[in-house]
Amino acid sequence: MAAPDFVYNSHWSIRPDGTILIPPTTDWMCGDLCQRAWSIVKGLTAYYQYSGDPIAFIYIPRAVDYILDYALTAPTAAWPEFPISTPTKGKAYGRCDPTARNQLDLCAITGTEVLRAYKLTANPRYLRLAKHWGDVFAAKAQFTDPESAPWNRYVDPSVVGWSDVLTGTTALIVEFLDDLLAVGYAGEGGALRHARDAGRRFLNERMLPAWWVQDTWGRTYWDWDNPMMCGMVSMCADHLLHHPQAYPHWQTDLRNMLSLVWHRNGADPNSHGDMYSGAWAFPESSVCCGTSLSYNQYTAAPTLLHYAALARSDWAREIGRRMMLQATYDSLPNGVVKDGLFGDQVATGEWSNLAHPWPLCQVMEAIAWLPEAFAPNRENHLVRASSVVQTISYEKGLIRYTTFDAPPGVQEVLRLAFRPTSIRADGHQLHPYPSLQRRGVRLAPLPNGDWMVTVRHDGHRHVAIAGPDPQADAGPDRFAFTGAWTRLVDPATPHGPLVTSAERDATATLRFTGNQVRLLGRVGPAGGWATAWVDGALQPTRVECWNPTPRDRQPIFFKKGLTNGPHEVKLVVRGEKNPLARAAVVAIQGAQWSAAEGDAGYGAGAGPRGPQRLIFGYTGRHDYVDTHGNPWRPGTEFVSRVGGGVDTVARCWWRTRRSMYIGDTPDPELYRYGVHAPEFWVNLTVAQGRYRVRLHWADTPETPWVEREGQWQPVSRPTTVAINGQTVLDA
């Protein structure tokens, strides 16, 4: 099946000049197949609503069809026609071997993304198989042992060689079942709902109270028995954020489990996991990936921003904001990704999913939850949607889109370069309200002239937003053409003329004044390839005009972030096409550009300003409230370099509550726990300002005593305390 290499495997290399190579590959490099599908489908679905780029309708079906055609078990298997999520056996290209370590939480991710692909493309095969997988999950669930998850971790535990116990990533299976229930499918006798409820109970009663235990969130990756606490933790947290009503203590549970990641993953001295310029940076786990400190921030930061939006947490917002800014410095314009702390390639030099599909997915998520800081200035974008956006068009002063469904509470968030004058849903005018408790819109200005627009349109799927857009537009007459081009007026479309060519080296040149430009064209089954040049510089991209179905006035090339002034963009027809195209036609229908300026900033100076109180070594699920009514949370925001592969909680925390008498305090509970290490440091995130730091110690019976001059005295333990690098205590 014709598809880009990243659909089939993650094995790649990229030269310093940006040239991408596919080295001799092995079966192993297909191992993250279904995890990779998650980043491709989720990321491109979000990218499509953000940009209107029809490339999503190429890559998403390619990724999903490969799994459905080549990576399912046999109809007669114990888990019939089920995803083979981690095919580390069999050919890297071709049919996957069903005897591989087939991991059920990743099978569930596949179901979630195949269902998302159905919502985008309306392909009935995707829905049929997603329903079938839900039925299989429900049929295989066990309900007799409340101490265990309803499922094992693997389809066949005998081929694994390590524990098959499913722990916190039960959340991924529950998320898939929730998605099926949301489209109205509950299975025979409500079987999916029963299985979903069992999974929720297990998470609430067994996993979330054990948030600090390594195996609760660890050992969830596909390739080795690793105490991994990175991407999967965020995926599990995303499920809780999608369904907070099902998890009564979600606010403290999520804060605890997410903040534990950077503490645990910074244990290896060789990783240098720590805080840099105020941003947490940490490796994939305490046992791997060296100084690869960027793509792990991609996994965590968007979840923190999502949590911040729901919990109204300045703490989470600022941590996520800083982490995302730090992470996005790893990408060079030519596509090289330097994920190493010291400016080198570590994991991204070998794993393409970590360099591009996964970061795209997570950048879209970060923009979605912090659009006022992260969405680009003076542009138009739909950044967040509670329903999949099936179609969207960005015209001058008119944005139209259609969602898969419109249940109660359905909302989209847009950042626009203009204040809308009309917003309609299925032709009905929506009116502004300060709080969207019903159908309507909420408008909020930004200091650069942009507007944040939230649209709620219960019961209506088609939305149109109109207003005085500052961008300019023009048809193909604005271009200068050389070579063999044909002007066509297609009576079947209302989109005006188009100019087409399939001749190699035919050129179309647009001159404009502004800081951004979009070229619009027709894509379809006969579409070919072109090369783009901006101001005489070759652009590191291939202009793709093929698409499975014809689509008019699609953005086929973007260029943003230009200096404001005169520019030239040129397309050169290559006379080439991908193997699926019927011809090599490039069809131009117009362009849009803008000279609008303004900067809304990235949110610098934000963060929590109030007191932050932490009890180190405390593993309680809920905050301790002292006699003055002040909450104290578990202290997780610290680094202790105790060694690679070491569980810092087991090594450094006095987590067993001391029951002996503690005097001279109205709150002895503050002193019943603690941490110990030769050296450790606490990284607290605050807004700009002056703060008071107060540290608490307790002298406990575990402290050895010696007799000096007839008196028993505790053994001296020299301690140095520094705050922001300045020594404040040396005793």
Structure tokens at 655: 């987590």
Kindly compute the dihedral angle of the four CA atoms of residues 159, 161, 162, 168, in this order, to the nearest 10 degrees: -20
Residue 661's pLDDT band (cuts 50, 70, 90)? confident
Mean pLDDT of 7-32: 88
Distance CA 306, CA 254 (A): 11
Tokens 């590191």 — which residue? 540
Q: What are the structural domains, with CATH classification, of the chain?
A: 381-466 (no CATH), 472-594 (2.60.120.260), 614-730 (no CATH)
Mean pLDDT of 51-79: 97
- Distance from the first to the final alpha carbon of the chain: 70
Distance CA 178, CA 112 (A): 9
What is the identity of the amino acid at 205? E
Confidence check: pLDDT of 700 > 70: no
Residue 228's pLDDT band (cuts 50, 70, 90)? low
- HSE of 538, CA atoms in CB hemisphere, 13 A: 8
Structure tokens at 515: 């800081």
The residues near 44 (Cβ < 8 Å, ≥ 6 apart) are: 55, 56, 59, 60, 360
| Of the candidates 727, 720, 669, the residue with the CA atom closest to the CA atom of residue 698 | 669
DSSP 340: B
> What per-residue confidence (pLDDT) applies to 296?
84
624: helix, strand or coil: strand
Do 54 and 523 contact (CB within 8 A), yes or no?
yes
- Of residues 715 and 63, the one with the higher pLDDT is 63
Residue 411's pLDDT band (cuts 50, 70, 90)? very high
Distance CA 377, CA 415 (A): 9
Mean pLDDT of the chain: 93
What is the identity of the amino acid at 530? A
> What per-residue confidence (pLDDT) applies to 703?
61
Q: Give the CA distances from residue 565 to residues 333, 443, 475, 593, 600, in Å, rounded to whole numbers and listed in that order.
A: 21, 31, 21, 11, 21
Q: Do β-strands 631-635 and 614-616 pair in parallel, antiparallel, or remain unpaired?
A: parallel
Task: Catalogue the E-assigned strands of 666-723.
Answer: 674-675, 681-682, 705-708, 711-714, 720-723
H helices present in 122-246, as ranges: 124-140, 170-182, 191-202, 214-217, 231-242
Residue 493's pLDDT band (cuts 50, 70, 90)? low
Cross-strand bridge partners of residue 293: none
pLDDT digits (tens, 9 = 90+) for 294-343: 888 898 999 999 999 999 999 999 999 999 999 999 999 888 999 999 98
pLDDT digits (tens, 9 = 90+) for 274-292: 999 999 999 988 888 889 9
